């Protein structure tokens, strides 16, 4: 794995010197993007980059683990310039495998909060999703106010959650391990398991549907899954959202757990300059607005307006987010999996 920042190339220096959010229309060539983001709304994100820079994006799209394995197998001959994926834990895996190289960029350092980027610049976060608690307002008068509350016996038989193999569940537990320690984290998993209304199954949207259909009263989900039901047509959910109450957990302690979509420059990027230009574009105001409006994600850059759906979810506006550096989610990933296994949480 590379362990030092390489010097910025001239075109990147030019980009960094421009006003925040500006991208020059001077570059050319191509960019080979390995992406596990599967959102149709990202098309406009890519087309604007091509229009503003003259750089053509060649995309390889697949699941994150498949792309990481592919880059590993390709080795020094990999054509990948950028790996773009969701969840800091996956970015940690790629960095730990030596697949990413450090990037030093004033533009990225200035615009992206420190906790949302790798300490050595191996990856940067470009959009956030908050993991919050949803509940049926008709049945739950005193909803959980923290992740720890989900293990309270008074919620026995009321909670729906995803399986322990899901990266979001692994990352949430990894954060709890960091804050509370292994013993407390294991106790929490035991309590959560005891409070489940059904065996873990399905995705985040399925947990929300289960609340809407009365299978359970409480669920944990990333905000953008619910926001989609407000902004479009989600089967089994759109039209049933008035019943939901929403809690941004741990506002009086560690803050609400957040995760990211993020990207890093491939260790053997043949178009390194263009790769850094792409990362800096993702931190521009226009790209940040696309992340929010297109997929209902929270921008990482302060001052970028939120999508209307996110304002509806949280009319108060902001919330206190967990300030852990998200590289911790990867560091504690293996231990989190072991804890789930020990408890027998499926």
Residues 98 and 78 in one domain: yes
Q: With bands split at pLDDT 50, 70 and 90, how would you rate the model's confidence at 313? A: very high
Given a cut of 80, whether residue 72 has pLDDT beyond it is: yes
Residues 151 and 28 in one domain: no
Residues 105 and 72 in one domain: yes
All residues at 6 or more sequence positions from 197 whose CB lies less than 8 Å from its CB, including other chains: 157, 158, 159, 160, 210, 215, 216, 217
Q: What is the rounded average pLDDT for all residues in the chain?
A: 91
Residue 315's pLDDT is 85
**Cα 54 → chain centroid:** 28
CATH number at 162 reads 3.40.190.10
All residues at 6 or more sequence positions from 224 whose CB lies less than 8 Å from its CB, including other chains: 129, 295, 296, 297
* Percent of the chain topping pLDDT 70: 92
Exposed (0-12), middle (13-18) or buried (19+): which is 239, by Cβ within 10 Å?
exposed
Among 25-29, 84-88, 250-254, the minimum mean pLDDT is found in 25-29
Residue 233's pLDDT is 87
Residues 38 and 180 in one domain: no
| Residues of the domain holding 144 | 129-257+322-343
Given a cut of 90, whether residue 141 has pLDDT beyond it is: yes
Residues 157 and 223 in one domain: yes
Q: State how far the Cα of 208 lies from the Cα of 235, in Å rounded to an integer.
A: 11
Cα 70 to Cα 87, 151, 262, distances in angstroms: 18, 39, 18
Task: Convert the pLDDT of each residue in 9-35 to its tens digit.
Answer: 333 333 333 333 444 433 469 999 999
| Cβ(46)–Cβ(59) below 8 Å | yes
Per DSSP, helices labelled H in the chain are: 10-17, 42-53, 64-74, 88-96, 106-111, 167-180, 182-194, 204-212, 223-231, 272-282, 285-295, 308-313, 327-331, 333-343
Residues 233 and 265 in one domain: no
Residue 231's pLDDT is 87
Residue 314 within a domain = no
Residue 318's pLDDT is 84
For the chain, how many structural domains are there in total? Answer: 2
Reading the block at residue 103, the tokens are 């990037």
| Cβ(108)–Cβ(283) below 8 Å | yes
Task: Convert the pLDDT of each residue in 266-287 to its tens digit.
Answer: 999 999 999 999 999 999 999 9
pTM to 2 decimal places? 0.89
């Amino acid at each position: 794995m590379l362990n030092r920042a390489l010097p910025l190339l001239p075109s990147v220096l030019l980009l960094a010197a421009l006003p925040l959010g500006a991208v020059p229309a001077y570059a050319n060539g191509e960019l080979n993007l390995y992406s596990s983001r599967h959102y149709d709304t990202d098309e406009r994100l890519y087309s604007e980059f091509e229009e503003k820079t003259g750089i053509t994006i060649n995309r390889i799209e697949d699941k994150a683990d498949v792309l990481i394995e592919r880059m590993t197998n390709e080795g020094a001959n990999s054509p990948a310039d950028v790996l773009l994926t969701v969840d800091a834990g996956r970015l940690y895996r790629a960095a730990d495998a030596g697949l990413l190289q450090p990037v030093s960029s004033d533009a990225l350092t200035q615009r992206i909060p420190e906790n949302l980027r790798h300490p050595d610049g191996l990856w940067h976060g470009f959009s956030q999703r908050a993991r919050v608690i949803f509940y049926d307002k008709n049945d739950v008068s005193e909803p959980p106010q923290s992740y720890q509350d989900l293990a309270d016996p008074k919620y026995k038989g009321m909670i729906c959650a995803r399986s322990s193999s899901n990266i979001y569940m692994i990352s949430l537990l990894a954060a709890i391990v960091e804050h509370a320690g292994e013993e407390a984290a294991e106790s929490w998993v035991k309590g959560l398991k005891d409070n489940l209304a059904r065996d873990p199954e399905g995705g985040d949207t399925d947990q929300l549907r289960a609340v809407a259909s009365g299978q359970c009263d409480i669920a944990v989900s990333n905000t953008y899954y619910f926001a989609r039901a407000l902004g479009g047509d989600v089967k089994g959910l759109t039209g049933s959202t008035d019943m939901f109450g929403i809690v941004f957990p741990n506002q009086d302690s560690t803050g609400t757990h957040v995760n990211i979509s993020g990207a890093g420059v491939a260790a053997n990027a043949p178009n390194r300059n263009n790769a850094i230009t792409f990362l800096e574009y993702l931190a521009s105001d226009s790209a940040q607005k696309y992340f929010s409006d297109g997929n209902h994600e929270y921008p990482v850059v302060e001052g970028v307006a939120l999508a209307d759906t996110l304002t509806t979810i949280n009319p108060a506006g902001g919330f206190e987010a967990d300030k852990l550096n998200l590289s911790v989610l990867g560091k504690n990933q293996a231990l989190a999996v072991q804890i789930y296994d020990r408890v027998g949480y499926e």
